[in-house]
Structure 1
Amino acid sequence: MTSFTIMELLLAIISLVSLFYSLFGLCKLIILQWRGQSCYMLGYECYKANEERKLNTDSSTKIILRNKNLGLEQYRFLLKTIISSGIGENTYAPRNVIEGREECPTLLDAFIEMDDIFFDTLDKLFAKTGFSPSQIDILVVNVSLFSPAPSLTARIINRYKMKEDVKAYNLTGMGCSASLIAIDLVQQLFKTYKNVVAIVVSTESFGPNWYCGKERNMMMSNCLFRSGGCSMLLTNKPALKNHAILKLNCMVRTHYGSNDEAYGCCIQVEDEQGQRGFRLTKCLVKAAAHALTINLQVMVPKVLPLWELIMSSIVSLRQAGKKNKGLIRFDMLGDGLNLKSGIEHFCLHPGGKAVIDGVGRGLGLNEYDLEPARMALHRFGNTSAGGLWYVLGYMEAKKRLKKGDRILMISLGAGFKCNNCVWEVIRDLEDVNVWEECVHSYPPETVGNPFKEKYGWINDEYLSFVRLDHSCFSFS
């Protein structure tokens, strides 16, 4: 048998398998639709704090100088980190941090932080969609670092006097990708409960978890994480399909926690002085790459057209003799697969500039694709589980989302986890939402901040030989 005949046979087999897989997926989709298991989003509302809590250059410096554990080297590290973070001057800090109580937060501080986000977003969501709290059948809340008793879901139920048979779920410790985990939970519940309405509330408790020590890997969390969150309204009622803005097409969850390095790259710990914080190691980007690769191996066949899968299979066959032949390498996805053949928009978790850059390179995305994530990071910072929705809000405010478009949401979080999903836009979306007051000024000419210009002198060599006097810092 000639090599040409072998190639023809392989292509025929690949085509038949791909066709069978596509038909199976189509039949499954039809069955799910018939059973009423579709998951529609009726609306979402992101949180924006008041102006008093903005974390600009001067307020950031005041917070840093309050920490007497820091010295010249820590100041230099923080300056370098903030300058390269991609975060601007309009993000928001927790109330207790702004008021100077980051070293001794109270339980009341934690509750106030949650109440601000919960009730602001839920009040606006109910007003926007026309639904009342009494109509909610399922409530899911995800806050990783705060788990009181009674639960946060009970706090919401009590505030809005929700009905006695509401199904409540409180998720903790799930990290930055918890929002999609919560939505997946709702999607699974929709298979059991017909014609119901669900709410997902995603945020994080930063105030009581502000790091006051001097370990570099833990100081980074203060530079990246900011206050924010989102509430979402979902349903599987066919009668509400015409009122929906998005439809969930597929969801894939990946947990890479069996790898010790990945497990420890983003973890809550205490430093040698007993100061509690979140440690981010250099292995984080590597762990994200591996988790995303594994996830996309499952996701890609679900979202790309048949012809693109066939072409990709041919490329894979040609590379069969190369190292790691059984695994789609993250850094080759952009070359081997054209994700844009099945996806119009990419909603990346705005976890940090390095993560956005890495995912962009790996998936072959251009600056237009990455702009929403970069702008969400610049304007609101890393708001943990709520971050994806600020990215989506930017796309909508910029009038990018048209009927029939598909959005790939990529979320990464501690564990290490990668949870991705694809939404289909049901109708043209143009709500300026949380971006209303500033979307006209984005993207800015530069995403830098004044820290380097104002405090760049801290890198001067002469300071290494003198004792740094805090009074030399100017806040004018």
Structure 2
Amino acid sequence: MGLLMMATLVLAITLMISLLIKLMHQRRDHGSSCYILHYECFKPSDDRKIDTEFSGNIVMRNKNLGIDEYRFLLRAIVSSGIGEETYAPRNVILGKEESPTLLDGISELEEFFYDTLDKLFHRTGVSPPEIDVLVVNISMLSSEPSLASRIINRYKMREDIKVFNLSGMGCSASLISIDIVKNIFKSHKKAFAVVVTSESIGPNWYSGNDKSMILANCLFRSGGCSILLTNNPTLRTRSMFRLKCLVRTHLGASDEACECAVQKEDELGRPGFHLSKNLPRAATKAFFENLRELAPKILPLKELVRYFIVSGSGSGSGSGKDRGGNNRTGPTVRFKTGVDHFCLHTGGKAVIEGVGKSLGLTEYDLEPARMTLHRFGNTSASSLWYVLGCMEAKRRLKKGDKVLMISFGAGFKCNSCVWEVMRDLEDGNVWRDCIDRYPPKTLVNPFMEKFGWVMDQNPKNPI
């Protein structure tokens, strides 16, 4: 018994020493700095808004739906947390969702590209020929030439620019793009990089009646963000954020995780995006695997020691009952000891609530994600930046604050990173014309008031 206790003590000391060395190394490593100079979120024109009545019209014109599918969609929309001012692609607005063309997809993205990039270059004074790295991530549209090539042609960027055009990365793609930039910065000094992140909604609107696929139509909306980054230390005082760390987790080796969110065709050959019942389980596992690696990188030593002691005593497994007798899920580690703000992916109301519960977050912490879901919907990989914009417009971000970003995506993936705020931020950005209305007194969706009669419709008498 004495030898066992001694071995356990030696192991504990070894782990703590390794942790201390790792933390000291991270804090001294300034050679691979990555700063955000500016970012621009896209706000489509008002003629692309889909309010309650228009949402209902879109649902009603799908003649492939029966009363059961109508009721399912009604419940999904009412409980989605999405408001009346989100944006849809033009081909859906015009009633062309059942026969989209490649041009519809390209036009949708070019409208976003040129709006945000024009503003980005104008606001920063950095010209397109100065850009050394361009990363474009659009998961569900791959064109020839690439979307990145279209941007290079439009802005006449240099011949030696390093270009990456990512597809299939899902809602967590923007942090993958940031990771690419961070690694290139290690070997290229005083460089500029642009990350362009969005999703192709128009050509991927589902017009069938498979419940696992029509759900995506209720959640995904048009949006996007362009981000200018640099590792030039002389621009440190001009920057908005500095990247502290970034962690990527991929569960693709698991069949269940890999197949829980899939672009596919239904039984009649109609393309769409399938969300399986196994998705919550895959997301939960990816989330906790990611946090396990992230925690030592961002938490103060005092909290890590506390967590190490609690875990060693057998009470930190993340399961069981809390003091209120409720089921406890998630880590007992207190992330709020090392993070000031939480920028959560707006994958849906359940996603926001689940992550908030796992991290022990308050309504104040969750408010930016909830408000973003309500105002802009789930804009896929760009969602995080609308949430960040909400925090900035609310003047929450002060110099020295730490912001944790958490995103999920098909594969299945969970990616996270922590940004340090470099100066007090208060730009109204894409929220400028509406931030004073948020949070509203109520987030009740009026869809039920207008279309609740569907719930009472006789199944034998389809709509």
Could you tell me the TM-score, scaled by structure 2's length? 0.95
Amino acid at match of 2:56: T
What does residue 296 of structure 2 align with? 301
Within-5 A mapping of 1:71-110: 71-110=66-105
Q: CA deviation at 1:195?
A: 1.1
1:49 aligns with 2:27: no
Alpha-carbon distance in 2 for matches of 1:320, 1:221: 39
C-alpha distance after superposition, 1:160-186 (max 9, x if no partner): 011111111100000000000000000
CA distance in 2, matches of 1:259, 1:386: 26
Q: How far apart are the structure 1 equivalents of 2:421 and 2:318?
A: 39
CA contact (8 A) 1:15 1:310 kept: no
Distance 1:306 1:18 in 2: 10
Q: Does 1:168 align with 2:163?
A: yes
Q: 1:189 aligns with which of 184, 194, 197?
A: 184
Q: Secondary structure at the match of 2:178?
A: helix
1:245 match: 240
Aligned amino acid, residue 457 of structure 1: W
Q: Contact between 2:206 and 2:270, CA under 8 Å: does it hold in 1?
A: yes
Partner of 1:472 in structure 2? none
| Deviation beyond 3 Å, 4+ runs, structure 1 | 9-17, 320-325, 330-334
Q: CA deviation at 1:265?
A: 1.1
Please, which of 434, 437, 440 is the counterpart of residue 441 of structure 1?
Answer: 437
1:269-319 deviation per Cα after TM superposition (whole angstroms, max 9, x unaligned): 100111000011222121111001001110000000111011101111121
Distance 1:341 1:10, change over 3 A: farther
- Asked whether the 8 Å contact 1:331–1:363 carries over to 2, the reply is no
**Matched ranges for 1:367-386 at <5 A:** 367-386=363-382
Identify unmatched segments of 5+ residues in structure 2: 321-326
Q: Percent identity?
A: 56
Aligned partner of 1:38 among 33, 37, 46: 33
State the match for 2:324 in structure 1.
Answer: none
The TM-score, its normalising length taken from structure 1, stands at: 0.92
Aligned-pair distance for 1:324? 9.0
Conservation of the 8 A alpha-carbon contact between 1:250 and 1:421: yes
1:446 partner amino acid = T
**How far does the alpha carbon of each residue in 1:186-224 deviate from its partner, in whole angstroms, 9 at most, with x for none?**
001111211100000000001001000000010000000
Q: Residue 18 of structure 1 corresponds to which residue in structure 2?
A: 16
- In the aligned structure 2, how far is the partner of 1:153 from the partner of 1:117? 13
Match of 2:323 in 1: none
In the alignment, is residue 450 of structure 1 matched against residue 446 of structure 2? Answer: yes
- After TM superposition, the structure 1 = structure 2 runs for residues 284-295 of structure 1, keeping only pairs within 5 Å, are 284-295=279-290
Deviation at 1:65, TM superposition (A): 1.7
**Which segment is superposed worse, 178-187 or 351-360?**
351-360
Change (3 A) 1:424 1:72: same
| Maintained 8 Å contact 1:348/1:356 | yes
In structure 1, the residue matched to 2:405 is 409
Distance change (3 Å), C-alpha of 1:413 and 1:322: closer
Stretch moving more, 19-28 or 89-98: 19-28
In structure 2, C-alpha distance between the alignment counterparts of 1:28 and 1:468, rounded to whole Å = 62
CA distance in 2 between counterparts of 1:63 and 1:147 reads: 26
Corresponding residue number in structure 2 for 1:429 = 425
In structure 1, give the amino acid aligned to 2:21. L
What's the counterpart of residue 337 of structure 2?
341
Instruction: Determine the structure 1 residue equivalent to 2:144.
Output: 149
Tell me, yes or no, if the aligned pair for 1:339 and 1:363 is still in contact at 8 Å: yes
Native 8 Å contact 2:171 2:381 kept in 1: yes
1:463 counterpart SS class? coil
Aligned twin of 1:364: 360
Structure 1 contact 203–385 (Cα < 8 Å) conserved:
yes
Q: Structure 1's 331 and 424: CA in aligned 2 closer, same or farther, altered over 3 A?
A: farther
